[in-house]
Structure formats: C-alpha cells, structure tokens
Amino acid sequence: MVLSNSPSDGEAQAQLNTLVGGLVVEVLARLGVSLIVSAPGSRSTSLTLAAAENGKIDAISILDERSAGFFALGAAKASGKPVALICTSGTAAANFYPAVIEAQISNVPLLVLSCDRPFDLRNCSAGQVIDQIKLFGNNVNAFYEIGLPENTDSYFNYIRQTLVHSVTKANGLNKGPVHFNFSFREPFICSDPKSISLKLEQLLNSHANVVAKITEHSEPSISPEPLLVEKLTSHRKGLIVVGNAQELANNPDSIKCIAEISHALGWPILADVLSPLRNSQQLLETSTLITHYDYFMRDAEMSEELQPTAILQIGALPTSKVFRAYLKSFSPVQFLLGNGFKNIDPINAHSIPLIATIDALSSAIGPCQVDENWVNSWSNLECDYSARVDRSIQSADFKFEGKVTRLISQYLPENTDVFLANSMTVRYAESFWQKNTTNNSIFCNRGANGIDGTLSTAMGMAHNGKPSLLITGDLAFLHDSNGLLNTHSFDGDLLVILINNDGGGIFEHLPIAESDHFENYFATPQTVNFNQLCESHGVNYQAVEDAETLLMEVRSIAGNGLKVIEIVTDRKNDVKTFYQINHPNTDAN
C-alpha cells in the first residue's frame, strides 16, 4: 500500500507517522487493550494522537512517567487485561522502570511503547537521546526494537504481527511487561489527517481476520500429571496454602475449584490476606478457611500436633516468618501448583512443580479418604484464635492501626476493590483482616515490595473500575504524592485511608529503633500538612478520629471520587500493642 498524492517529503513523512500511529493503536484495541496511558512529549506524538482519536480505547495523559507506569499497573491488575503506556525519548521511559519491575515480578501485562530518535540521530550527541535498547534488561517478557516507519505493505504486516505476538507474550501463560522501542522521524503533524484515516481503514480491512483471532483466545486448561495427582491424594494430613495470589481476583471460578479441592482432599486452606479467599463467600460456606495460623503456630506444642505431610501451594508462599519456620521444621512435601515457569519456593523445600491449572487439578481429583480429626483440629483453633483477636481488638484504642484495619475489614461493603500499601499496612492486614463474604479483591505491589507508586497504582485500579479503598502509610503516600496530579483525568471512586504515624512505623519493629540515628535516618518523619497538600490538588480531605466516622466514610465510597481521610496514630504505642497481641516477626524491606 502506497500513500497517494506524492506530497512533499515532510508531509509524506508526517502522513506515514500518522498512519503507523493509527495502525498500532487500532491493532492494540482489536487485541483487547482498553486503556492507554501516555505522558506528554514530542517524539511520541503519532502514538499519543492516535490513542486520543481512537474511540474504542480510553486514553489518558499523566505528566509524571513514574506515576503513569504505576497507574497503568493498577489498571492492568484490577482488570486482568493488558494496559499500554506511551512516552517520549530520553529519561521518560526510565521513569517507568519501578512499575515495569513490579509488573514483571507480579505477572501483570503491561505494554510499554517508548519512542526514540531514528538511527542516524543515535550515538552522536543529538538532544534527548539515551540508549533505550533493552532499557529494562531482563525485567520484561520481551523487547522489540521497532524499525523506522516505511511506506510498504511488508512494514505494516510486520507491525501488526509484532503486536499480535507481543500481546501473547504479555498476556499469555506467564504474564508480564513487554517493551517496544519505536523510532520516528520528524515531522509528526500532517495537514490532512482525515485522508490518513481512510487509508488506515483500507489497511485494517485486509488485517481484520488475523487480529480478531487473539481477542477470542482464552487461557488453555492444563491437566496435571496423573502420577503426581496420585501422590498428592495419598496424603491425609495436608494443607492448601494460598499466599500472594492476587491474580485469582480475576478468576472467580478458580476460587470455586480451590474450595472443591479442599473438600475432596479434606485439607484446610491457609489464606494470606493477599489472596481473594479471605473475602470469599463461597469459601466461608464450603471449606475450612484458616486465617489466624500465624498466631497458633507460635505455640510449639500446638504446631507439633498440626504437623502436615504435604502442602499444595498456590501463588507465592505467605511471607509470615512463623509460617515459614513451621514448614522448615516439618519439611512436608510441597506441591507447587502453576505453569512451571516460575520458581515459587523461596525456602528451597522438598518441593515438586505441579504443572496444571486449578480447574484441571480440581477435575483430576476424585473422592478421597478424609481425616476428619485433622480438619476439625484446624477449624477449632481458627475459631478459638479468631475470638481471642476479637477480644484484644475490642479493648484496643481506635488509634491502634491493627484495630483500624480490622474495622475496615468488617465495615467494607461488597463490590469494592482494596489496595494495601507496603510496610506495616500489609502486615497489619495479614494479622487483623477478618474473613468476610464481600467477595472483594485485595491488591498490593507485593512483587518488589516498593513503597513507591502506591497512590498511583490504587488510582489506576479504581479508574473506570469498582469503588475502591486504599490503606497507606504516610511515607508511602508522600513518596507518590505526584499521583494527586492525576485527580483530573481520574474517573472513579477511591477512598484513601492515610495512616499517619509520623514516619516509617515498620522500623520501630527492628533493632535499629534503639539507635540515636533512628529518627533522622530511618523513621524520617516529614513535615507535610496533608490537609493543605490535598487542598492544593483540589482533593477532598477529612481527618477521622473515631470508628463511627470511619464506618460512614467506608460505606459511602461510591460517587465520591477521590477522597483522603487521615487517621493519626502513634508508631511507638502501636508497636507495644501489636507485640501484646501478636508477638510480631517483621522485617523492613
């Protein structure tokens, strides 16, 4: 296909860039990408304009690429679908790096489209040029250097097919980020973009069948090796351990299958707060769901009595040190359920990869002999310890963060997504999040455990999504306060519960808390007035000091856009209360 009119060189170049931009965005739309987040810049003009013009895709602009990266990450996490990012040349793409790393570790499909100068302007001190080739190293599923636009059918076919294959790499069995480095030659603005739309339409008509196939593609079911199923089902004293398995949020059928597996084997389910299981109605009704294991495993005698011979691990292993020590002391055989690409055994246990999908494993397990005593011992302890924690929480002050967390888990309405910041927030949730029947999903950037990008990820999650709630510490909030700049392009409802303990409360749990340098170099209290910070960004703010107001806020997220509520706590008191209730074993990371 050749562009018509023999326009001037500059006009022909601008037309070609416009056509390529339109083709890229339209192919992405047809492949199922529904959100493009772009950051302003000139080299990326053709892609950005195409995104803005393409009616099928939601295109938003975010100034700070670091924040944009996390926003896209949050949107992809919540939807389970790939989200595209566009940026200009220079350091812009480098600012996507932390979000790309998190996406890679936590298997989130991101398509990063960086733009670059053409080959003749690289390595010669031209402005705004850095080496963008394989910028993200091994932190992406694939890298594609996209050749300079050419006005030929073979170039257009190459673009289409590269996108088709790359989306499979981002969104296939082992989800993760994919990086494309596009190069564009100036100029970018053509005088008659309408004529290009017509050409694009003709071009796409000839591509329709190839691209449509991918959207119809669904994840294949993988059956387990029968011999391994035989081994698994030979154990009476087993546990299903579901750690950080946020991806299950987009697959409600898998929760049903886990319940079926638990029922058939007679194995209780130990559920981390970062699996959606703690909020699953189905699991509360049909299985033995254990959430207070961290408490009763501290008791040596009790853990002897609860000695498992086998573990079925789904998702990452829970981070609880007590739980990991318990596994190490009994060395049960650990069946690691997954597609086999990823080693999910951080304790180098007696582990066996069990390559299968949850649905296929559930179908492969027939009726088994169940040890009722085993199941009952676990459920009795769960009831006992749940009541103990309830009593401690009731007598604790509202300003104890563990209490705030438990109250939120009790107050939260259905149909609400939750995002937990790293640091003490996720740890308090692990200890105090009460199981419930809301079916809500819980997310956290628990791949690389960064406190960067917290607000932006939560905003991305809530953008055009469910009413959502973020619980964050003060430093995590400030680290990403640029996320507040996105208020005006953000379309959703997000209640931010800001736990202000005047610095990094997590470090109070470490021996460094005794050091003279503690406040200056570790706790690092900041001096920002959150009310004023919110006001200057046009964001609604309220200080909350009691449970009734918290309840009211948590029950009225829908329709209120972005709102920040601040609860001031005391990190030194919190440590004491936490130890009294829980004897924590925490590490700052």
Q: Which residues bind Mg ion (CB under 5 A)?
A: 473-474, 501, 505
Residues 6+ apart with CB under 8 A from 53: 22
Peptide bond into 467 cis (omega under 30): no
Q: In 3D, which of 107, 112, 125, 61 has the Cα closest to residue 85?
A: 112
Residue 404 near ligand TPP by CB under 6 A: no
- Residue 362 interacts with, from Mg ion, ligand TPP, none (CB under 5-8 Å by kind): none
Closer residue to Mg ion (CB): 64 or 474: 474
DSSP state of 523: I
Minimal distance in Å, beta carbon 439 to ligand TPP?
Answer: 27
Minimal distance in Å, beta carbon 529 to ligand TPP?
Answer: 16
Q: Which of 68, 274, 451, 496 binds ligand TPP (CB under 6 A)?
A: 451
Minimal distance in Å, beta carbon 319 to ligand TPP?
Answer: 13
Q: Is 151 exposed, middle or buried, given 0-12, 13-18 or 19+ CB atoms closer than 10 A?
A: middle
Closer residue to ligand TPP (CB): 71 or 378: 71
Report the 10 Å Cβ neighbour count for 317: 23
Residue 526 near ligand TPP by CB under 6 A: no
DSSP state of 268: -
Dmax (CA) of the chain: 85
Strand 333-338 versus strand 350-355 pairing type: parallel
- Cα 451 to Cα 121: distance, rounded to the nearest angstrom: 37
Q: Which of 61, 128, 174, 449 binds ligand TPP (CB under 6 A)?
A: 449
Report the 10 Å Cβ neighbour count for 546: 11
- Cα 26 to Cα 57: distance, rounded to the nearest angstrom: 9
Residues in contact with ligand TPP, shown as a per-residue x/- string from 50 to 79 under the rule CB under 6 A: ------------------------------
- Cα 416 to Cα 556: distance, rounded to the nearest angstrom: 11
Closer residue to ligand TPP (CB): 17 or 422: 422
Report the 10 Å Cβ neighbour count for 340: 14
Residue numbers 453-492 binding ligand TPP by CB under 6 A:
473-476
- Residue 171 interacts with, from ligand TPP, Mg ion, none (CB under 5-8 Å by kind): none
Residues 6+ apart with CB under 8 A from 139: 97, 100, 101, 104, 177
Minimal distance in Å, beta carbon 563 to ligand TPP?
Answer: 19
- Residue 425 interacts with, from Mg ion, ligand TPP, none (CB under 5-8 Å by kind): ligand TPP
Residues 6+ apart with CB under 8 A from 391: none
Q: Which of 102, 116, 294, 452 binds ligand TPP (CB under 6 A)?
A: 452
Distances in Å between the alpha carbon of 526 and those of 290, 472, 497? 39, 15, 18
Closer residue to ligand TPP (CB): 183 or 422: 422
- Cα 365 to Cα 155: distance, rounded to the nearest angstrom: 50
Minimal distance in Å, beta carbon 456 to ligand TPP?
Answer: 13
Residue 102 near ligand TPP by CB under 6 A: no
Indicate the residue whose CB is closest to ligand TPP: 473
Of the ranges 104-112, 195-203, 421-429, 462-470, which one interacts with ligand TPP (CB under 6 A)? 421-429
CA angle 172, 80, 422 (to 5 degrees): 115
- Cα 70 to Cα 74: distance, rounded to the nearest angstrom: 6
Indicate the residue whose CB is closest to Mg ion: 473
3-state secondary structure of 498: strand
Minimal distance in Å, beta carbon 428 to Mg ion?
Answer: 11
Q: Which of 17, 44, 423, 486 binds ligand TPP (CB under 6 A)?
A: 423
Closer residue to ligand TPP (CB): 22 or 473: 473
- How many helices and strands, by DSSP H and E, does the chain display? 23, 18
Of the ranges 185-193, 290-298, 304-312, 416-424, which one interacts with ligand TPP (CB under 6 A)? 416-424
Closer residue to ligand TPP (CB): 102 or 359: 102
Structure tokens at 289: 């769901």
Residue 116 near ligand TPP by CB under 6 A: no
Q: Which of 13, 15, 425, 434 binds ligand TPP (CB under 6 A)?
A: 425
Residues in contact with ligand TPP, shown as a per-residue x/- string from 493 to 522 under the rule CB under 6 A: --------x--xxx----------------
Closer residue to Mg ion (CB): 25 or 478: 478
Closer residue to ligand TPP (CB): 98 or 238: 98
DSSP state of 187: P
Can you give the binding site for ligand TPP, defined by CB under 6 A?
Answer: 421-425, 449-452, 473-476, 501, 504-506, 588-589
